[in-house]
Amino acid sequence: MSLPRLFPLFQKILAALSLAAMVAGCTTTAPPDSVLAVPAPPQKYAAIVVDGKTGKQMFEVNSMAQRYPASLTKMMTLYLLFEAMQSGRVSKETQIPVSDHAASQPPTKMRFKRGETIDVDSAIRAIVVKSANDVAVAVGEYLGGSEDQFAAMMTAKARSLGMTSTTFRNASGLPDDSQMTTARDMAVLGMALHSRFPQHFHYFSESDFMFRGRLVRGHNDMLGRVRGVNGIKTGYIRASGFNIVTSYDADGRQLIVVVMGADSARQRNDHVEALIQRSLSPGMDGTKTRLMFAEQQ
């Protein structure tokens, strides 16, 4: 079945995003005489805020510029896993084997050994909460036959969703010079996850989970920090800086906020909170924001 039939609202949102990207400049709407501190150097920074109900672009800076996704990549890994669950190919109880290649991935990971398995339900939590690279690769190999084949599936799915500037090379987001995306594409993916898989979106709001008798804690500090924040995913590699896609849903308002390239997780989170507050403020339309980069402070 085509996307327009499945997701008429999502298609309207995607069209609105595309139109906004063509007409938006590097500074956008915000309260009058407002100064926004930017937590990243200009060559890494990118951000976008989108109204999750209407698709209206409420803020953007460098949203079409190429950036490294880091572990935001795992959002697409999970998208394809959710699709497999929806089609009946896998269930929450399906056991996913961990290969040598998967087990050899660098941290962050769950530290599986070759031949061990993890059930799909735990795998989702390990990817969301722990951002486990070994589990993400195991999922990719299970669904794609190999990680390379799975990466090709990820890129194809990105194109079908309207993510026109994204190329995936692995399932985890670990460094690869050819693995690129944009803040705009990550917003599209965040909205697609929310609209296509509302029954699974609760996973993104989990901050810890129990596995084999031990508590595994996450590091998405936006959860519990701002009322209404209910996910989605953080990411970091040295080349990217600190990235995040955040979903806000409260008091009848829905937002998707993407920030990429921050110098620290704390600065990134402060910036996301400021963008949420700004986007919820009345009377922001038609006004300008002055960006204050670190070297200007």
Res 296: pLDDT: 44
Task: Tell me what pLDDT residue 219 has.
Answer: 87
Show the tokens assigned to 289. Answer: 């924001």
* pTM (two decimals): 0.88
Domain harbouring 243, CATH code: 3.40.710.10
Distance separating the N- and C-terminal Cα atoms of the chain = 52
CA–CA separation, 82 and 78 (whole Å): 6
Please give the helix or strand (H or E) that residue 247 lies within, else none.
strand 241-250
Angle formed at CA 102 by CA 234 and CA 236, multiple of 5 degrees? 20
Condensed to tens digits (0 to 9), the pLDDT of residues 19-28 reads 444 434 444 4
Determine the average pLDDT of the residues in 245-260: 97
pLDDT of 29 strictly over 70: no
Instruction: Check residue 27 and give its pLDDT.
Output: 43
Tens of pLDDT along 278-294? 999 886 665 567 777 75
> Is residue 126 very low, low, confident or very high in pLDDT (cuts 50, 70, 90)?
very high
Q: Which two tokens stand for residue 257?
A: 């906020």
Mean pLDDT across 199-206: 97
- Average pLDDT over the chain reads 89
Average pLDDT over residues 145-164: 98
| pLDDT of 153 over the 70 cut | yes
Residue 32 exposed, middle or buried by CB count within 10 Å (0-12, 13-18, 19+): exposed
How many structural domains compose the chain?
1
Cα(146)–Cα(25) distance, integer angstroms? 41
Structural domain that includes position 180: 3-296
Q: Which of 3-7, 116-120, 166-170 has the lowest mean pLDDT?
A: 3-7
The DSSP secondary structure of 16-43, one letter per residue, reads: HHHHHHHH--SS---STTEEEE-SS-TT
**Residue 260 corresponds to which tokens in the numbers above?**
């990429």
3-state secondary structure 147-169: HHHHHHHHHHHHHHHCCCCCECC
CA 292 – CA 35 distance, rounded (Å)? 7
